[in-house]
């Protein structure tokens, strides 16, 4: 695919806006449209993140907007159904965790994405943080010694 990825957002709350801001910083995506049942939330995503259009329905957005991919950051019980809708519309999907409320629904989503030949990624983004990558490398190389106990937080921000 040449050019920038045309992205939509389903779920315009704080996590959806956070992910949109992170994506916007890469300069590899065009934030095309967002959808949320709350018109206020959708308007906030438009003004804060720069989405060009807002919809009150994810289905309406998937049908009307020209998108390559969708970020899904809804409440937990809507993550899998919204991801299934996006996959059915032929869109690549980044879905926040948990991708489903049970294993069967998660497997159904993975199968649907494979059948539709679209990419599916579950949003456990902390694995890409430099501190976590280094920690995994040091443990993998056996440079930490025998680990008998681990106590940690999210490793986000100043300590």
Q: CA-to-CA distance for 72 and 35, rounded, in angstroms?
A: 10
pTM of the model: 0.81
pLDDT at 131: 79
CA angle 61, 58, 22 (to 5 degrees): 85
Contact between 34 and 55 under an 8 Å Cβ cutoff? The reply is yes
pLDDT at 54: 97
pLDDT at 149: 85
pLDDT tens track, the chain, 159 positions: 468 999 999 999 999 998 999 888 888 999 999 999 999 999 999 999 999 999 999 999 999 999 999 999 999 999 999 999 999 999 999 999 999 999 999 999 999 999 999 999 998 767 767 777 888 899 999 998 888 887 776 655 554
pLDDT at 158: 56
pLDDT at 2: 61
Contact between 76 and 15 under an 8 Å Cβ cutoff? The reply is no
98, burial (CB in 10 Å: exposed 0-12, middle 13-18, buried 19+): middle
Q: CA-to-CA distance for 143 and 119, rounded, in angstroms?
A: 35
């Amino acid at each position: 695919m040449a050019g920038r990825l045309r992205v939509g957002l389903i779920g315009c709350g704080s996590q959806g806006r956070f992910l949109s801001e992170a994506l916007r910083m890469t300069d590899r995506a065009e934030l095309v449209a967002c959808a949320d049942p709350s018109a206020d939330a959708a308007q906030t995503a438009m003004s804060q993140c720069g989405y060009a259009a807002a919809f009150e329905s994810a289905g309406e957005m998937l049908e009307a907007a020209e998108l390559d991919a969708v970020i899904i950051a809804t409440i937990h019980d809507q993550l899998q159904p919204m991801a299934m809708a996006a996959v059915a519309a032929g869109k690549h999907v980044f879905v926040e965790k948990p991708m489903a409320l049970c294993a069967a629904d998660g497997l159904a989503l993975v199968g649907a994405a494979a059948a539709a030949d679209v990419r599916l990624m579950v949003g456990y983004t902390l694995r890409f943080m430099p501190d976590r990558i280094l920690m995994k490398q040091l443990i993998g190389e056996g440079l930490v010694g025998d680990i008998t106990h681990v106590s940690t937080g999210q490793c986000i921000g100043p300590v």
